[in-house]
Amino acid sequence: MKHVEIRSDIAWATPTQVVVHGLDLCEEIVGKIDFGQMAFLQWFGRLPEERELRMFNAMMVILVEHGITPSSLATRMTYAGAPEAVQAGVAAGLLGLGSVFVGSLDNAARLLQASLPDPKNVPDIDTLATEIVADYRARKEILPGIGHPFHKPIDPRAPALFKVAQETGYDGPYIRLMTAIGREAEATLKRALPVNVTGAMAAVASEMGIPWQICRGLAVAARSVGLVGHILEEMRQPIATALYLRTEHEATAHLIPDAQRQDV
C-alpha cells in the first residue's frame, strides 16, 4: 500500500514562533487583526479586502444570537447538569443545528450554487425560480432558506444582510435568485414564506464564492459565540433547572392520582 504524503499548509510552530498562513502569530497577527479577519484568514488562507471583511462580518454576526431557541436550551440544560464542562454545553447546542434550525444554510447554498453553477452565465431568474419551486413541490421537499415560524411576513435579518451586500458590491445573481424563489414560493403556496436568515446568508456566501460544503461551518462558528453567552447568563441568572422542573411537572401531572396531587 502506497503511503500518501501527510501535509498541512495552515500553520507551523517551533519553540519560539507560530506562523499561520505565512503570518507570524505574535508579530503580525496578535493586536493587529480582529476576530473576523482571523476567521477569514484561517478559512481562506489570506486576509480579506475591506469590502470582503465588512460583508463577512455582517454575515457572521447576524447569526450569533436569536434568544431562547432549541440550541441555546440544549446548551443551558447541559451546563446545568455538567457545569464543569463548558465545552459540553456549547457542543450540545451545536449538535442541534440541522435542516430546521440554523443548519439549513448549507442546503440553501447548495441549491443556489447547483442552480447557478456559473454566476457569469445567468438564465432568466424568474423562470429558474419557478422551475426550482415546482421541482421541490413535486418531490415534496422543504425549500431551504425560505419561511420562518416566527418572523412573518419578513425575516428582518434578510433585508439587513442584503443591504450590506448592496453597499459592498455583492448584490448579484444568487441574491436575486434567492429573492425570486421566495416570491415564487409565496405565490404558489399562498402563504408568507419570507427569505429567512440562512437563505440570505447562503445567497451572500455564494456571492462571495464560498463553497456550499463549508457554509454550515459559518453557522456553527457564529452560533458558538452566542452559546458561550448563554452559559455566562446561565451562571448569573439560571433558568435551566426551573425549566426542567416545570416541564417535568406539567408533562407528568396527569399521571398523579387526585388524592396525592395536593402534595405535588
Domains in the chain: boundaries:
1-47, 63-241
> Vertex 46, ends 119 and 63: CA angle to 5°?
65
Kindly tell me if the per-residue pLDDT of 69 is higher than 60: yes
Choice between 98 and 10, residue whose per-residue pLDDT is larger: 10
**pLDDT tier at 263 (50, 70, 90 boundaries)?**
low
Choice between 167 and 263, residue whose per-residue pLDDT is larger: 167
Cα gap 181→76, rounded to integer Å: 36
Q: Which whole-number Å values give the CA distances from 58 to 7, 29, 38, in the listed order?
A: 33, 21, 15
Kindly tell me if the per-residue pLDDT of 260 is higher than 80: no
pLDDT at 147: 85
Please write the tens of the pLDDT for every residue from 194-224: 999 999 999 999 999 999 999 999 999 999 9
Q: Are 76 and 230 in contact (CB under 8 A)?
A: yes
pLDDT at 258: 76
Q: Are 143 and 185 in contact (CB under 8 A)?
A: yes
158 Cβ neighbours under 8 A, 6+ residues apart: 194, 195, 196, 197, 199, 200
Kindly tell me if the per-residue pLDDT of 88 is higher than 70: yes
* 105-113: average pLDDT: 95
Hey, what's the cell of 184?
Answer: 415564487
Choice among 19-23, 45-49, 141-145 with the minimum mean pLDDT: 141-145
Hey, what's the cell of 53?
Answer: 471583511
pLDDT at 154: 87
Distance of CA 23 to the CA centre of its chain: 28
φ, ψ for residue 118 (rounded to 5)? -125, 100
Q: Say how many C-beta atoms besides its own lie within 10 A of residue 131's C-beta.
A: 14
Kindly tell me if the per-residue pLDDT of 264 is higher than 60: no
**pLDDT tier at 252 (50, 70, 90 boundaries)?**
confident
Bridge partners for 195 per DSSP: 146
Cα gap 89→94, rounded to integer Å: 9
Q: Which whole-number Å values give the CA distances from 215 to 75, 196, 207, 249, in the listed order?
A: 22, 15, 12, 40
Cα gap 113→61, rounded to integer Å: 23
**pLDDT tier at 81 (50, 70, 90 boundaries)?**
very high
* 129-141: average pLDDT: 94
Hey, what's the cell of 100?
Answer: 430546521
Hey, what's the cell of 148?
Answer: 420562518
pTM of the model: 0.90
Q: Which fold has domain 63-241?
A: Cytochrome p450-Terp; domain 2 (1.10.230)
